[in-house]
């Protein structure tokens, strides 16, 4: 049974041709039983053939077959060709045009033609000895099949359009979901890249400075060399711990509890960061103004990374005699950061257009972090020399 149904769906024109031949056979029996001859018989046979053609090609060219059916109907009225079984094709074409997703004029023409067919037939071929009321009732009864055919076809068209809209919406939502997933993946990768940049740039630069210092004083001051090596070890372990946490995000299929994770840095660890930088040989003045209080985790991480990146840039570009100052200011509605150094500063290209220097993304990362929490950032050379980074991070509720 399923094979037969699939065959019917694959060959709609063949199925319509079969029913057209069946209709032609019944109509031929009806025509052969009439007493018409000559031109009248030829006209009636022609009308039957054309109406059967309407059934055979109704799905391939519905609008043209509708016009053909209308023309045959008008010819029947004009040439006094009596009603025969082939007129059933008019019901079929009305249903087909109403169900077809084509021009609306065709559907309206089918409805108007179907509703007027019974009235015109009663006027052209009135029943003898029938009163006006009876003619009206007969007209209404004969109009019902045409109206039902149009309503059924139009309902089917509406249902198809509804399901097509649902499929389109599902497809669009699926594409939007994929696009959002790609955006989320890109954002996560960018976040991890920023974190890795901050971890590597800061800790490795500290390790390089300490290693150079240890090599310089290895023979003359072994205690200082030992302290530098201890700093390198501590910094390296901290960098490995943070990198392990970040790379753990990229793992798939692993048990999240199996890895080693550390908490995100916060404002309280800025003092430890400053002390670490001091041990690396950079003079840093650190002050906190206002009353410290708990902050949103995003604000705390952003503040820590800004200070970390700023001090890293000072060691990179400030020169051997550079000093820095770090200020944290707690306002009622925000946290202020000011990091300055008195070194020679970086080249203009390093802070122009967001800090794209072709070697790193420090200032770009700062601006992105500050933008994520709705804050503002100002970075550039100081009028008296050196470099200044100023940020204002608003204290907004999480989310």
Q: Dump pLDDT digits (tens) for 218-242.
A: 777 878 777 778 777 777 777 777 6
Q: What is the pLDDT of residue 201?
A: 66
- Of 345 and 50, which is predicted with more confidence? 50
How far is the C-alpha of 94 from the C-alpha of 51, rounded, in Å?
A: 13
Q: What is the pLDDT of residue 372?
A: 80
Report percent pLDDT > 90 for the chain. 20
Residue 330: phi and psi, rounded to 5, are -90, 110
What's the mean pLDDT when you consider all of the chain? 80
Q: How far is CA 6 from CA 10, 203, 211, 301, in A?
A: 6, 69, 79, 63
Q: What is the pLDDT of residue 385?
A: 81
Helix axes 62-79, 39-56, angle to 10 degrees: 160
Residue 261 near residue 248, CB atoms below 8 Å: yes
| Residue in the block written with tokens 């018409």 | 36
Residue 107 near residue 98, CB atoms below 8 Å: yes
Residue 374 near residue 396, CB atoms below 8 Å: yes
Q: What is the pLDDT of residue 50?
A: 92
How far is the C-alpha of 376 from the C-alpha of 330, rounded, in Å?
A: 15
Range with lowest mean pLDDT among 85-99, 157-171, 232-246: 232-246
pLDDT tens readout for residues 293-322: 888 878 888 898 899 888 888 887 777 778
Q: What is the pLDDT of residue 360?
A: 46
How far is the C-alpha of 226 from the C-alpha of 208, rounded, in Å?
A: 15
Nearest CA among 277, 268, 342, 261 for reference residue 303: 268
* 197 pLDDT above the threshold of 80: no
Q: What is the pLDDT of residue 292?
A: 87
| Residue in the block written with tokens 């206002």 | 290
């Amino acid at each position: 049974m399923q094979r037969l149904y699939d065959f019917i769906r694959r060959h709609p024109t063949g199925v319509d041709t079969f029913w057209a031949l069946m209709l032609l056979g019944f109509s031929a029996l009806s025509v052969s039983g009439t007493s018409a001859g000559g031109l009248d018989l030829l006209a009636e046979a022609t009308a039957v053939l054309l109406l059967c053609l309407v059934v055979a090609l109704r799905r391939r060219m519905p609008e043209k077959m509708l016009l053909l059916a209308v023309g045959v109907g008008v010819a029947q009225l004009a040439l006094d060709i009596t009603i025969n079984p082939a007129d059933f094709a008019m019901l079929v074409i009305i249903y087909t045009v109403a169900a077809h997703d084509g021009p609306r004029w065709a559907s309206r023409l089918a409805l108007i033609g179907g509703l007027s067919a019974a009235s015109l037939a009663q006027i052209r071929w009135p029943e003898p000895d029938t009163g006006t009321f009876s003619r009206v009732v007969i007209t209404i009864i004969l109009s019902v099949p045409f109206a039902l055919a149009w309503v059924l076809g139009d309902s089917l068209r509406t249902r198809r359009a509804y399901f097509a809209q649902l499929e389109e919406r599902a497809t669009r939502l699926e594409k939007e979901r994929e696009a959002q997933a790609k955006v989320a993946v890109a954002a996560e990768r960018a976040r991890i890249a920023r974190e890795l940049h901050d971890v590597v740039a800061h800790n490795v630069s500290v390790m390089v400075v300490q290693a150079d210092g240890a090599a310089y004083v290895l023979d003359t001051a072994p205690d200082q060399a030992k302290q530098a090596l201890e700093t390198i070890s501590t910094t390296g372990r901290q960098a490995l711990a943070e990198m392990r946490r970040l790379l753990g995000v990229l793992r798939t299929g692993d048990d999240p509890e199996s890895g080693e994770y550390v908490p995100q840095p916060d404002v309280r660890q800025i003092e430890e960061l400053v002390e670490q930088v001091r041990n690396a040989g950079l003079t840093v003045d650190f002050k906190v103004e206002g009353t410290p209080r708990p902050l949103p985790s995003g604000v705390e991480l952003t503040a820590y990374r800004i200070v970390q990146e700023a001090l890293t840039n000072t060691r990179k570009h400030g020169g051997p005699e550079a000093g820095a100052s770090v200020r944290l200011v707690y306002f009622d509605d925000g946290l202020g950061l000011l990091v300055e150094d008195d070194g020679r500063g970086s080249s203009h290209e390093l802070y122009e257009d967001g800090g794209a220097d072709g070697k790193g993304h420090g200032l770009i990362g700062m601006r992105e972090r500050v933008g994520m929490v709705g804050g503002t950032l100002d970075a550039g050379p100081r009028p008296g020399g050196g470099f200044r980074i100023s940020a204002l991070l608003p204290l907004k509720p999480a989310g």
